[in-house]
Structure 1
Amino acid sequence: MRAPRRLVSPLGWALLALLLFLLPFLLLRERSYVTLDDNLDVELTIPYLLTRHHVALDYGTTTVVEPVMNGLPRNALRPGLSITMLLFGVLEPLPAYLVQQVLVRLLALLGMYTLLRRHLLRGPTERAVAAGLSLAWAVLPFYSIYGLSVLGQPWLLYAFLNLRRGAGRWTDWLLIAAFPFWSMFVFVGPFVAVALGLLLLWDLGQHRRWSWAVVGGMVLLLGLYLVVEYPLLYSLLVAKQFVPHRLEFNLSQLGPQSWGGALKSAGQYFFMGQYHASRFFRGAILLALAAALLGRNHLAPGRRRVLVLLLAALLAVALFCGVYPRLIEPLQRAVPALGAFNLTRFHFLTALLGFVLLALSLQVVRNGRLVTALVMLQLFAGIGMNTEWLLNVRELAGRPKPTEPNYQQFVAASLFARVQDTIRLATGQAPRDYRLACLGLPPAIAQLNGFYTLDSYQNNYPLAYKHAFRPIIAGELAKNPALRTYFDDWGNRCYLFSAELGKNFRVGAFQQRVVQDFAFDAAAFRRLGGRYVLAAARLARPARSGLIPRGEFSARNAYWHLYLYEVQP
């Protein structure tokens, strides 16, 4: 007698579970919590400004983005040929962000399921395991603003494995060709190329041959990345439009200051990963590997070797990333420009590498209950460390975390509009007619609200501007060696610093902070074109800083309590 047919397949259940996972974002909308650090305080602003000022595809060497740093060269920012830029071009920032998150997580689930069913978990009884792992992959914490850079990697691996087996079709070439248009070259491009190169060398050593189709796929991938990133490469290498501030990076001063600290950092990379590239506990992966290697399983020598090699690769990447700041120090003394390149980004590949290891290990384990428990453990590890999702669930439950505001509270559009209105009534000037800088709040939030700021958080901007900005904050940097190192040896946050606030760059209204002594060089600020300081902390003696109070602003639903100061004429 035939078994009754299932009404919903394992993949269908996984898709339904993913929809439930995404439901808090869809219900909350403007009240959604959006990751703040390195995300809402910088990344959402970039595509918004590029599209709203109609320079997303304007790659002229004289084109600038006026609201940022007195006119930041357009080619210092992300390329315009991307799905992310398209979404921000047709939608407002938050809807664009949420739509991208839904699309990327959906494609992540489908991509992992396709990879597992075609190459790793192909048995008829392994559908449920593949679906469970695919769901666990799709709910991982990650920066969705980077598109498919992390969670889209299964599609890329799937395509290259097809080419490696000689079964490549036009769809595989299409997947490879599409990837550069929805991912970040600086995060994954070179490192995927290195990984594929190692795979080719493995095939050469094992079989005395390699797949020329894989080589062709690599050429296609890197060639299209060059097309997408052409404006940046041309402006830096050919036109020499500006000297990047990254040439003054000194990673040895920012990373662990001892070999013991470097090894501790390596352990964190191995067990937890890195937050930009999906930070989650790798316990389920290691337990599954132990069950496969040590359990009473029929493990072929070839499979054992593959599992051990994958583990060795994870250990090698973690060790390299942990000790890299120490290794680069003597080399950087000889070649200072080496500090501009962050080679630790191999960690962007480790989430996928870990899931491949998990899938291969589970395939060996014969205990169905143990397999189910390990899949569930990985699922809960991803959800449990997905801060963005957890905070949205708290918001829905009416128990928001006061220190982690939602999008509406953080952007506080009506509050910033009142600041604009105050300046307009006093001077008749629109935001484009004056420049301000922010103290205790990210300049990106002011930029999202239409202000033109001298300060900003950027991964790439002219070194000359960093040198011109430094005198404004030199007095505060002199008070605090940690802030001085933070700016001089890194400087991505080209901010107004306060030694009293330290690295608290989002001073909430509930904190009621007062800066007693703000060593601010008003004359240097005026020379750079600055007129106003917008602060989230009150200055106890603004006159000593060459500033005049012009207004105080608060709102019940806003995260900020703002103080407006004007530079003395």
Structure 2
Amino acid sequence: MPLASRLRTPLAGAVLGLLLFLLPFLLLQERSYVLIDDNLDAELSVPFLLTRHHVALDYRPTAVVEPIMNGLPRNALRPGLSATVLLFGLLDPLPAYLMHEALVRLLALLGLYLLLRRHFLREPDQRRLAAGLALAWAVLPAYTIYGLTVLGQPWLLLAFLNLRRGPGRWTDWLLVALFPLWSMFVFIGPVAGAAGAALLLLDWAQGRGVAWRAAGALALLTAMYLVVEYPLVYSLLVAKQFVPHRLEFDLGKLGKPGLGAGLVSAGRYFFTGQYHASLVSRAVMLLAVAAAWKPLGRAGNQRRLLLGLLAVLAAVALFCGFYPQFIELVQQALPPLRTFNLSRFHFLTPLLWFVVLALSLRALPAGGLRTGLVALQLALGLGMNSEWTNNLRELAGRAAPTEPNYQAYVAPALFGQVQAGIREQTGLGPAAYRVACLGFPPAVAQLNGFYTLDSYQNNYPVTYKHQFRPLIAGELAKDDFLRTYFDAWGNRCYLFSAELGKDFRVAAFQRRVVQDFAFDAVAFRKLGGRFVLSAARLAAPARSGLVARGEFSARTAYWHLYLYEAQSAIQRGAPAGARP
């Protein structure tokens, strides 16, 4: 019987469930809630700017993205050979994101379903179980902007296991070759390769020989990542285009020291995971293990497999939990280790937990308990998916005031007013001046066409970090936490205010006022800056070397913006505090 016929009914139900999950996005459109932290405040602007400024595939050492950090080297950003970048090149940011989300989650559902049916839930009466688990997997709270990095892992594992157990098919090789085109190498490439190699070594140690086809698949995966990540490899290892700011990472200073802090962190990794890789309770998985423990006793190999997977998950949690302390011990002897986050093995744990869940449920008889556990896992995933829950609140007219929808957060009408006001006063378009942002992420300004000196980037030249620091040195001196946050990490190369702390989402309704902003306008001007856009009012801008040039609001916007101009850039005769 054709595969499509065998899978049609349960798969159709799972796909229908996924469509219902995605329906709020379709109904809300620009009023959709899009995950903000490390997503809308950072990631969405990158593929948008790469494509709009026609540098997505421009890997020359001289290529830069002008709107970011005075011209961020293009090769510091994600590669252009990416399905994500392609979508953002075809569509505006929000439609691209929503289409991307739908495709990633659909592929996630299909991938886990096929993986379970081929390797873990192969019996005819387990089709519905596989479909239910696939739907629960597809709705997990994951960063879909990373493509198939997390939710697409079942496809990679399916191909690897097929090639490990037999000759496989040409489609398995194709899956391995295509995976790097829609995933993030820095998050999943090295750890997936290490995990695959470890499994092959285990086979060899147990006398099963080496699955050379699977080893070849790992080699193909590595080769394809080298092709896709050419800009990163070339800029850092070949041309040595710039020294990354990551060399100054000191993660030990950012975490709490001591055995207790490490154990608490490890417990979080084990019981809930890490938010980039899907933050969701493992309670249902552990309940399923407990329920299946006695039945598994009749199949010793299955119990040993389950114990082995749980041991791996516990080891990963311990390593990740104590990683800041570990890296603090070795970073002086091996400085390059600062630049790599070796704790990213946690990106593999969501899929491993679902394999644990599938093996446990397989040992249980069909019926209410098994169905109830799948339903509970689905409910947990939905309940902890902030995009879904906030969109339901938006549809019900009960949106959380601190969780703005896309239209309110990006606020194109508001930023259009600011651009028009600057053009009226100076005659200049956005490309002719540089701004910095206070109280809101620079990515918002970038999505609206501004060129910002500040940004949230995982990789940029350390020389720029040193050039930017004098702008905020006065504020960093007021607050030990912010000073460590910038000096020991620095991905958020922002304008900081000790009075605002880490509040990078100062809403209009908050009416925040910064009484003393220790800002170095001279350093700002030297770096090319002219305007400061602030979501908080400065009580005494003159003390910061700034003059008020406008105040802007819009009914649908989350922000209320204040425009300030560095004094040396002010045209003589312009009245201080003039408003457009």
Asked if 2 retains the 8 angstrom alpha-carbon contact of 1:551 and 1:564, the reply is: yes
Supply the AA of the counterpart residue of 1:393.
L
After superposition, residues 440-519 of structure 1 pair within 5 angstroms as 440-519=439-518
**How far apart are the structure 1 equivalents of 2:206 and 2:333?**
39
| Counterpart AA for 1:389 | W
Shift of 1:330: 1.5
- Residue 456 of structure 1 aligns with an amino acid whose one-letter code is S
Cα distance in 2 for residues equivalent to 1:516 and 1:296: 66
Greater Cα shift, 330-339 or 31-40: 330-339
Q: Whole-Å Cα distance in 1 between the matches of residues 567 and 423 of structure 2?
A: 18
Q: Tell me the residue number matched to 1:157.
A: 157
> Partner letter of residue 534 of structure 1?
L
Alpha-carbon distance between aligned partners in 2 of 1:225 and 1:103, rounded to the nearest angstrom: 21
Q: Summarize the Cα distance change of 1:250–1:154 in structure 2 as closer, same or farther, 3 Å threshold.
A: same
Quote the Cα distance in structure 1 between the aligned partners of 2:198 and 2:300.
Answer: 21
Q: Which amino acid is 2:25 matched to?
A: F
Q: CA deviation at 1:419?
A: 0.5
Tell me, in whole angstroms, the C-alpha distance in 1 between the residues paired with 2:203 and 2:62.
48
Cα distance in 2, alignment partners of residues 334 and 276 from structure 1: 29
Which segment drifts farther, 408-417 or 254-263? 254-263
User: What does 1:35-50 correspond to in 2, within 5 Å?
Assistant: 35-50=35-50
What is the match of residue 242 of structure 2? 242
1:408-444 Cα offsets, whole Å, 9 max, x none, are 0000001001101111011110110001100001000
1:291 and 2:291 correspond: yes
Displacement of 1:256 in angstroms is 2.5
Residues 1:33 and 2:33 aligned together: yes
Partner of 1:237, secondary structure, is: helix
Q: Distance in 2 between matches of 1:296 and 1:244?
A: 53
Q: Does 2:187 align with 1:216?
A: no
Question: Under a length normalisation based on structure 2, what TM-score does the superposition of the two structures give?
Answer: 0.96
- CA deviations on 1:353-373 (whole Å, 9 max, x unpaired) are 000011011111126211111
Letter in 2 for 1:442: P
Q: Percent identical across equivalent pairs?
A: 70
The equivalent residue for 1:14 is: 14
The superposition leaves residues 53-95 of structure 1 with CA deviations (integer Å, 9 ceiling, x where unpaired) of 0000000000000001000000000000000010000000000
8 Å Cα contact 1:297/1:366 also seen in 2? no
Question: How many angstroms apart in 2 are the aligned matches of 1:231 and 1:298?
Answer: 52
Do structure 1's residue 425 and structure 2's residue 424 form an aligned pair?
yes
For residue 105 of structure 2, give the secondary structure of its aligned residue in structure 1: helix
Which consecutive segments of 4 or more residues in structure 1 shift more than 6 A?
5-8
In 2, the alpha carbon distance for the partners of 1:8 and 1:340 equals 47
1:258 maps to which residue? Answer: 258
Query: What code does the residue aligned with 2:461 have?
Result: P
SS at match of 1:9: helix
Q: Which amino acid aligns with 1:129?
A: L
CA distance in 2, matches of 1:388, 1:270: 23
Contact 1:299–1:364 (CA under 8 A) maintained in structure 2: no
2:101 and 2:179 mapped to 1: Cα distance? Answer: 16
**Aligned letter for 2:153?**
Q
Aligned to 1:313: 312
- How far residue 337 of structure 1 moved from its aligned partner, in angstroms, is 2.4
1:380 matches 2:400: no
The Cα offsets for residues 85-120 of structure 1, whole Å up to 9 and x where unpaired, read as 100000000000000000010010010000001110
The CA distance in 2 between the partners of 1:194 and 1:96, in whole Å, is 32
1:330-367, CA deviations, whole angstroms, 9 ceiling, x for partnerless residues? 10122222111101110000000000011011111126
> Contact conserved, 1:273 with 1:350, CA < 8 A, in 2?
yes
User: Structure 1, residues 167-194: CA drift from partner, whole Å, max 9, x if none?
Assistant: 4000000000000000000000000011
Q: Give the conservation status (yes or no) of the 8 Å contact 2:507–2:535.
A: yes
Alignment of 1:307-456 (within 5 A): 307-366=306-365, 368-456=367-455
- Residue in 2 aligned with 1:127? 127
Q: How many residues align?
A: 564
Give the residue type in structure 1 aligned to 2:110: L
Q: Structure 1: which amino acid aligns with 2:87?
A: L
Amino acid at match of 1:300: A
Describe the SS at the equivalent of 1:552: strand
Cα distance in 2 for partners of 1:551, 1:94 equals: 29
The residue identity in structure 2 corresponding to 1:385 is M
The CA deviation at 1:324 is: 0.7
The one-letter amino acid paired with 1:256 is K
* 8 Å contact from structure 1 (residues 57, 80) kept in 2: yes
CA RMSD of aligned residues (A): 1.2
Q: Quick one: distance in 2 between partners of 1:26 and 1:436?
A: 34
Displacement of 1:8 after TM fit? Answer: 7.0
Q: Distance in 2 between matches of 1:58 and 1:391?
A: 38
1:248·1:337 contact (CA, 8 Å) conserved in 2?
no
User: Where in structure 2 are the equivalents of 1:186-205 lying within 5 Å?
Assistant: 186-205=186-205
Q: Are the counterparts in 1 of residues 320 and 343 from structure 2 also a CA contact under 8 Å? A: yes
Distance 1:120 1:6 in 2: 16
Q: Note if contact 1:410-1:558 (Cα within 8 Å) is conserved in structure 2.
A: yes
CA distance in 1, matches of 2:208, 2:387: 48
* Deviation of the 1:10 alpha carbon: 1.6
Equivalent residue letter for 2:258? S
Counterpart in the other structure of 1:546:
545
Which amino acid counterpart does residue 133 of structure 1 have in structure 2? L
Task: State the Cα deviation string for residues 288-334 of structure 1 (Å, max 9, x = none).
Answer: 111122x3455311111100000001100000000011111110122
Shift of 1:6: 11
TM-score by length of 1: 0.98
Cα deviation, residue 259, structure 1: 1.9
Query: Can you give the 5+ residue segments of structure 1 that lack an aligned partner in the other structure?
Result: none
User: Quick one: which amino acid aligns to residue 503 of structure 1?
Assistant: K
Q: Distance in 2 between matches of 1:324 and 1:400?
A: 37
- Structure 2 CA distance for aligned equivalents of residues 6 and 64 of structure 1: 51
Aligned-pair distance for 1:147? Answer: 0.3
Which amino acid letter does the alignment assign opposite residue 424 of structure 1?
R
In the alignment, the residues of structure 2 paired with residue 308 and residue 226 of structure 1 have an alpha-carbon distance, to the nearest angstrom, of 35
DSSP 3-state at the match of 2:323: helix
Q: Deviations over 1:472-523 (max 9, x none)?
A: 1000000000000000000000000000000001100011000000000010
Q: C-alpha separation between the residues in 1 aligned to 2:52 and 2:296?
A: 59
Mapped partners of 2:308, 2:147: distance in 1: 29
Deviations 1:532-566 (A, max 9, x none): 00000000000000000000001111000000000
Match of 1:114 in 2: 114
SS at match of 2:62: coil
The code of the aligned residue for 1:51 comes to T
CA distance in structure 1 between the aligned counterparts of 2:252 and 2:340, rounded to whole angstroms: 13
The AA in structure 2 aligned to 1:39 is N
Secondary structure class of the residue paired with 1:565: strand
Rounded Cα–Cα distance in structure 2 between residues aligned with 1:366 and 1:204: 35
Q: Secondary structure at 1:119's aligned position in 2? A: helix
Q: Secondary structure at the match of 1:329?
A: helix
How many angstroms apart in 2 are the aligned matches of 1:258 and 1:297? Answer: 38
SS of 2:125's partner is coil
Measure the CA separation in 1 of the matches of 2:332 and 2:516.
37
Q: Give yes or no for contact 2:296–2:303 (8 Å, CA) kept in 1.
A: no
Shift in Å, 1:7: 12
Please tell me whether the aligned partners of residues 167 and 213 of structure 2 are also in contact (alpha carbons under 8 angstroms). no
What SS does the corresponding residue of 1:429 show, helix, strand or coil? coil
- AA aligned opposite 1:218: L
